[in-house]
Structure 1
């Protein structure tokens, strides 16, 4: 567990969160390389299925990063995304996965430092939780098959 490096998928809004990630990079503000960014046109384009599939495909944690409240380029897309994340968090709990593994964050394009800090904080949180129960089950199944 000491060497556990979590895989985290970040679904980032093109206009704000993705631009904040880009700003962090251009300002040379380091954030963990285990955070895999997926750029989406708007955070509301992240479907519940995308979030669940991220875990199914090996993510230990995931988050959706959208525009600030009231500042979505697609009017209320970020609010729809927040509701969807809340719904999926309940679903994860029902199937035995800690809901803390999924979060929703809001940031503007100029928040490069906050993007990097969010990535660091999320990595630490998931590191403390340990590997996803799905990944543990897959490892155990592979061990029994060998």
Structure 2
């Protein structure tokens, strides 16, 4: 019996207005992308709290994606500018604690870019797969 190959687990926080619409368009257009991504719809990328990302990693995610509207096109005016600044700081913290930068990604994807969404997911899955399983959850367990 063959041994099942490890597959990365990706958690994606998608803006309701743009990135979630792009994911929907990718599905309707039948663009193929890996199925090992769990999508969580949020009202805006700025509503994603850094604790949500840390909890995703602590819960066993191998990668986390946050996707929102293009800068300047946010339905909440400046939401993605706030998110960009917050995630820049979070990225530095994650690097400091040993999480490879490729495991946490932020992308700006419009609702009409279903092909970009599918490509982003496929690319991220391959990048995370090349790193192997994340050790973040095991390290958090040892601290508890």
CA distance in structure 2 between the partners assigned to 1:37 and 1:28 by the alignment: 17
Classify 1:13/1:3 alpha carbon distance in 2 versus 1 (closer, same or farther; 3 Å): same
Please state whether the residue corresponding to 1:12 is helix, strand or coil.
strand
1:34 aligned partner: 36
> TM-score scaled to structure 2, two decimals?
0.90
- Stretches of 4+ moved more than 3 A in 1? 135-139
Q: CA deviation at 1:111?
A: 0.4
Structure 2 residue runs without a partner (length 5+)? none
Note the alpha carbon deviations across 1:51-97, whole angstroms, 9 max, x for none. 11110011000011000111000011111111122111111111121
Structure 1 residue runs without a partner (length 5+)? 142-146
2:78 aligned partner: 76
2:124 aligned partner: 122
1:45 aligned partner: 47
1:10-21 aligned within 5 A = 10-21=12-23
- Paired residues of 1:66 and 1:105 also in contact (CA < 8 A): yes
Equivalent residue for 1:60, pick from 62, 70, 85: 62
1:133 aligned partner: 135
CA distance in structure 2 between the partners assigned to 1:47 and 1:10 by the alignment: 13
> TM-score scaled to structure 1, two decimals?
0.89
- Paired residues of 2:13 and 2:39 also in contact (CA < 8 A): yes
The CA RMSD measured in Å over matched residues stands at 1.7
Please state whether the residue corresponding to 2:53 is helix, strand or coil.
helix
